[in-house]
Amino acid sequence: MIKIAIAGAGGRMGRTLIAACELNENCQLSVATERADSDLIGNDAGIVAGISKQNVKISNSLDASDFDVLIDFTHPTITTQHIDYCLKHSKKLVIGTTGCDESLISKIQKAGDSIALFYAPNMSVGVNLCFQLLQTAAKVLGDDVDIEIIEAHHRHKVDAPSGTAIKMGEVIAEALGRDLNQCAVYCREGQTGARDGKTIGFQSIRAGDIVGEHTVIFAAEGERIEITHRASSRMNFANGAIRAVNWLANKNKGLFSMADVLDL
């Protein structure tokens, strides 16, 4: 049995992770945390998640003696602290936090030298299959198409473009031998002039309770190809995280991604 700690247990994703953990026969929730000023401190994590009582009270700190793997879908600042904590206590870590800057990505990569660590901007199996499809499409279509990435999420999402959209852009840019930092164009406005065919465009929508939608358009003269993924429930992200937890069980160190878990 793998003992799981879930950070941000009272949030939308945290509650879904608790439910996914209960459904997996190999995992057991043992620690659930929230920020110190949360009014959920002291409540049973299962009741908060809307499932059966788990006999795990939400606390404002981790107990290193009581978990094997920490799942973190919180905020870059908190994730940074959790990496330091897991390094200090030799704990495994699954990170689904988005909006990570280059400094945090570098920290994640370095942490993999000491502990088993999994990081993915999107843990949906379908999205990770899309990454493979996008790579193939980019290689086949090459410079003959204009490429645009459109993503939509709920009104509460704080970063844009989404981590998944950025990853999609990186996959496409790498396949085309481009540097995304040089060719990305975000949210056009005003007199922009004719489109540069070597750019990759991004558009972000924030509205209502949209869980997550991503569409990549490859547009040529006379035809276009669209690859779309729509998430209707956070459970597919949570199930991906639990799948990653199980996959990390026999790993001592290294940085891994969903491509490793799915053997893509």
Neighbours of 70 (CB within 10 A): 25
Distance CA 19, CA 9 (A): 11
The reply to whether 157 belongs to the active site is: yes
Distance CA 168, CA 154 (A): 19
Sequence-ordered list of residues with C-beta below 8 angstroms from that of 149, at least 6 positions apart, any chain: 161, 165, 168, 169, 200, 201, 202, 203, 214, 215, 216, 217
- Residue from 89, 107, 157, 251 carrying the catalytic annotation: 157
Distance CA 5, CA 7 (A): 7
Residue type, 12: R
For 16-68, list the strands marked E by DSSP.
27-33, 58-59
- Residue from 75, 82, 153, 214 carrying the catalytic annotation: 153
Catalytic residue numbers, as ranges: 153, 157
